[in-house]
Amino acid sequence: MKPFTYIVPGKLAEAATAAAQPDTVLKGAGIDLVDRMKERLQTPANVVHLLPLKDELAGIAAQADGSLRIGATTTLTQLEQHAALANQALAGLQQSAAMTATPQVRNRATVAGNILQFTRCWYVRSEAFHCLHGGRGPTCLAMTGENRYHAVLGWQDCVRVHPSNLAPILLALGAEYTTLLGKQEQRKKFAELFPAEPRAQNPEHTLQAGEIVTAIHVPAQPAGTRSAYVESREKQTFDWATTACAVRLVMDGGTIAAADLVLGAVAPVPLARPTAAKLLVGQKPSSQLFQKVAEAAYAGASPLAHNAYKLPVGKAIVREALEQATR
């Protein structure tokens, strides 16, 4: 690992000043970042450690408007176990945290770090390979190489997938996020965190250098809201999803009055599927309807040589998420 200066700020304002220096990165628990630094894929001069800023960045708090403020350095265990998530509306958020990695990882991993973790593509994450997304080669090596965990939707010149469990459900729940850049605070819709054009040369998120995510805000959900997050993976634990689906439904009696559906682990960004979600609106839950929605969710998919399995598996996961949300 290349030597670097480790900055431990006492206040968020100090962290923001430190983060504004050139060649500086932010660190939550470091599970993803330090891995990449060890591989020399990221060699910053300065690392700003955010975990000491507990008062300003950690914890979950219900707000007066019924929304939930989730501090950026809240751990996945704290999220999974929080009483505010123990209801049908936020069940999907609870499930997405509970299904991540292992208890040891969840005890350390932060919410912001989970959402902003770098893709797991084995080419771009290895020092030995020189690919387009890593800025070190002319092409996407996964496109014609070993690609069983890669994208089947929404890809252009790079077939990486977005690995975060939390991101799809936060998108489905209509979350927002706040950031601090120098002295400037901003609040944006969660979808704005990801590039509209997820091309190889684009970074995986839209934050500027030195911009600190301070919190995620989950809006109050209308009465009758139910959510679910379901994923497929090769191992029971210690693994990332191969496909995932997050749904948010608003039920009016036995009818679905509103719906959001987001796919994870199958595209370079968490992928909202509004056309599929629209098929649910005004309908009563049924397995025929869910089959139709699952087909629509994967409409236009372009599997690669080794990942066509993601289509039948992914559709089954969509159906299961809808079953769970309407049970």
Question: According to the binding rule CB under 6 A, does residue 105 interact with ligand FAD?
Answer: yes
The residue within the footprint of ligand FAD, chosen from 9, 92, 113, 314 (CB under 6 A), is 113
Measured from the CB of residue 238, what is the shortest distance to ligand FAD in angstroms?
Answer: 5
Measured from the CB of residue 98, what is the shortest distance to ligand FAD in angstroms?
Answer: 11
Question: According to the binding rule CB under 6 A, does residue 170 interact with ligand FAD?
Answer: no
Tokens matching residue 153: 């939707």
Give me the 196-225 binding string for ligand FAD, x by CB under 6 A, dash otherwise.
-----------x----xx------------
The residue within the footprint of ligand FAD, chosen from 117, 147, 225, 243 (CB under 6 A), is 117
Tokens matching residue 100: 């991540």
Closest residue to bound ligand FAD by CB: 113
Angle between helices 91-98 and 310-326 (to 10 degrees): 130
Question: According to the binding rule CB under 6 A, does residue 314 interact with ligand FAD?
Answer: no
Question: According to the binding rule CB under 6 A, does residue 119 interact with ligand FAD?
Answer: no
How many angstroms separate the CA atoms of 69 and 60, rounded? Answer: 6
The residue within the footprint of ligand FAD, chosen from 24, 77, 94, 110 (CB under 6 A), is 110
Q: Which of 222, 120, 216 is nearest to 163 (CA)?
A: 120
Q: Given the rule CB under 6 A, which of 121-129, 236-244, 250-258, 309-317 is the region that contacts ligand FAD? A: 236-244
The residue within the footprint of ligand FAD, chosen from 100, 147, 221, 307 (CB under 6 A), is 100
Measured from the CB of residue 204, what is the shortest distance to ligand FAD in angstroms?
Answer: 9
Interface contacts to ligand FAD, rule CB under 6 A: 25-33, 50, 72, 100-101, 105, 109-110, 112-114, 116-117, 163-165, 207, 212-213, 238-241
